[in-house]
Amino acid sequence: MIEFIKADSWGLFEGMPRPWVIAGPCSAESESQVYETAAALKTAGIGIFRAGLWKPRTHPDCFEGVRERGLPWLARVRRELGMHVATEVANARHVEKALEAGIDLLWIGARTTSNPFAIQEIADALRGCATPVLVKNPLTPDLELWTGALERLSLAGVRRLGTVHRGFFAYGQSRYRNLPQWQLPVEIRRRFPDLPVLCDPSHIAGRREYVQELAQQAMDLGFDGLMVESHISPEHALSDAAQQLTPAALQEMLQTLVIRSADTENRHYRESMDELRLRIDAIDDELIDLLASRLEIADRIGEYKRQNNITILQTGRWEKVLERVFARGAERGLDAGFLARLFALIHQASIDRQTQVMHKGK
Ligand code: PEP
Ligand code: MN
């Protein structure tokens, strides 16, 4: 159970069009860098300024943030520019210092969400606190770890809660620094329809040229907002230099985004959608029937193998199946990666059924 107050009454996003945007540098580095970035972001129409003070870095020789020293710089942005300010907290001491300095919004980073001890410590330090808290996804795609963090905060009486999808650690090379696994935030939205879901395209991307496409995907999925890293001089940033945008580039990026609404009253649209959805439902029914038939045949194959004392796994055969599937799939314009994932599941189900048949026969 997660109890939360809808974001419309947080005192942060009221009157702001979607997407709500939180922007600012990965790290606060100096008073002038903070102030100049914030002023340029304000000119670009941004109302909420972010800057990391305590930076969780992989290696001890990396820049680890200016820590408490940056709190008065954020307070100045708040006072002189009238922006709301946000920072990351990772332990009770950070919470205490940030609240004392009047920070408007806190976020919990991916590394911290991965650790229930740290989350509990933060929840205890925040007990009953009215300051909104955004919880980034943990490093691994573990939905329960993510919602568990929200539960700990909720149990401590923190009610202004939201989530940020920042992608997941993936071993090896890929287009992005962190893999977006959109099905996780989408599942959170399904379970808690009014809980704000934001996307941090910067940490998914790892490179500024990918930020726009990820922000657009988040908008297409109906995310409420974006947290984007922006630095007055990205190439000189002390952390995450490759993924930060100048305030002007951020403004341009935001202007390119196509924002779709969740629904419409348009009758023609609704009727066409209803018709297409009925067709999808019918196809899903057919798929279920086909899968059931396929597995029944797998049972029969299992039975023959059992009677003739043959092993279940015959890799040569499976390779032939895949070869056929890929060739046919390509003719129908189906993505090979999608087919590989789908048929891996089907194959596994088939093996499970054959194993059951073998055991039953014993
Ligand atoms: C950050 O927002 O600067 C940050 C460290 O993010 P994450 O926890 O997503 O890596
Ligand atoms: Mn960063």
Q: Is residue 251 part of a domain?
A: yes
Nearest ligand atom owner, CA of 231 = 2
Tell whether ligand 1 has an atom less than 6 A from the beta carbon of residue 136: yes
Any atom of ligand 1 within 6 Å of the Cβ of 231: no
Asked if 137 contacts 166 with a C-beta cutoff of 8 angstroms, the reply is yes
Q: Is the pLDDT of residue 362 over 80?
A: no
Question: How many domains, the chain?
Answer: 2
Q: How far apart are CA 211 and CA 202, in angstroms?
A: 6
CA distance 26 to 177: 15
| Residues of the domain holding 310 | 267-360
Domain shared by 147 and 289, yes or no: no
Peptide bond into 19 cis (omega under 30): yes
Ligand nearest to the CA of 109: 1
> How far is the centre of ligand 2, averaged over its atoms, from the C-alpha of 103 (Å)?
19
Residue-level pLDDT at 284: 95
- Is 182 inside a domain boundary? yes
Considering the domain architecture, whether residues 27 and 173 belong to the same structural domain is answered as yes
pTM of this prediction?
A: 0.82
In a domain, 200, yes or no: yes
The reply to whether 133 and 60 lie within a common domain is yes
In a shared domain, residues 286 and 310: yes
Its sign, for the CA torsion 320, 324, 330, 335, is negative
Tell me which range, 19-28, 54-63, 266-275, is most confidently predicted by mean pLDDT: 19-28
The 10s digit of each residue's pLDDT in 84-139 is 999 999 999 999 999 999 999 999 999 999 999 999 999 999 998 999 999 999 99
Q: In the predicted model, what is the mean pLDDT of the chain?
A: 95
Q: Alpha carbon of 130 to those of 93, 108, 135, 187: distances in Å?
A: 17, 16, 15, 26
Is the separation of the CB atoms in 113 and 141 below 8 Å? no
Last residue in a domain, options 200, 221, 256: 256
361 pLDDT band, cuts 50/70/90, is low
Paired strand residues for 107: 88, 134
